[in-house]
Each structure stands twice: as structure tokens, then as C-alpha cells.
Amino acid sequence: MKGQTSVSDITRAAVPATAPPRSGSLETRADPPWSANEGDPAMTDSGATSGGNDQARQQKAEADKAVADARAAQAAADQADAQYAEWSSSLARQKREAQARQAIAQADQATAAAQQAQISALIPDFSKVTPNTTTIQGQ
């Protein structure tokens, strides 16, 4: 088998063996790095977690939250920039001016109708006057 590589040789080369922790070492985890429960704390009967990685997980969670908050803030800033660019464009400005002119025209039309109704209430309706009489009928 000289010159041939077996599957076990490749596996041994790709996956380092885990040595037991040295005495005085901070490393106390005995699980291999490819373990299925990587990152999951092992629960004891008392409900406490073993492994001592709670602080590291908490720091990672805080860092992940900070990254998510930063992304949300960046997205909000990008949206605000896009809205301002749209709002300040000449086309948007022309549209707002046209809408303002339309609102002014509608208000002027409503004012004219109200004034016409006031004036017509002051002037008597002469169509109700019969010829050769001095009285107005219908009131």
C-alpha cells in the first residue's frame, strides 16, 4: 500500500485528535471540536450548566445584538437618505407645488360658492313677482 492513502489516513490528517487537558490548563472541555453539542451547555441534575462558557456566550450574544442594532440603524439611515433624496428632487418639489395649487383652487372654489350663496340670500327672487302687482308670492 505504498503511495496509497486510505480514508482513515485522510480522516486522521483532517481531524486532530483531542488530547486530555494538561494539569493547570484553562482548557477543561473534553468534547472534540466536531461534537454535535458544540455550543450547547451540558445540563447537570441541579440545572446548572457546565463548561464555564456562559460568559463567552453572553458576550457573543451581546456582540451579535450590537451588530444587529448597527445594521438596523444603517438600514434606517439609508431609508431616511432615500426619502430625503426623493423629497428634495425637483420632480417631488413640482408635485408638492402642484398639490398646493390644487388645494388653493379647491378652497377658492368653495369660498366663491359660499359667497354666492350669501349674496343670493340678500337679493330677492324677482321671478316670483307677478306682473302688475306689488306683492311677492311664495314667502
pLDDT at residue 37 greater than cutoff 70: no
Contacts for 52 with CB less than 8 Å, ≥ 6 apart: 28
Task: Inform me whether the pLDDT recorded for 130 exceeds 50.
Answer: yes
Q: Which residues in the chain belong to E strands, given as ranges?
A: 42-43, 49-50
Rounded distance between C-alpha atoms, residue 99 and residue 105, angstroms: 10
- Residue 31: its pLDDT value, please? 52
Indicate whether 1 pLDDT > 50: no
C-alpha cell at 72: 438596523
Q: 54-86, pLDDT tens digit by residue?
A: 899 999 999 999 999 999 999 999 999 999 988
Q: What is the C-alpha separation between 73 and 33, in angstroms, rounded?
A: 35
Backbone phi and psi for residue 61, each to the nearest 5 degrees, phi listed first: -65, -40
The domains of the chain are located at 54-111
Per the structure block, which three cell numbers stand in for 115? 359667497
Residue 41 cell numbers, joined:
451547555
Length of the chain measured in residues: 139
Average pLDDT, integer, range 84-93:
89
Q: Which residue has the higher pLDDT, 101 or 10?
A: 101
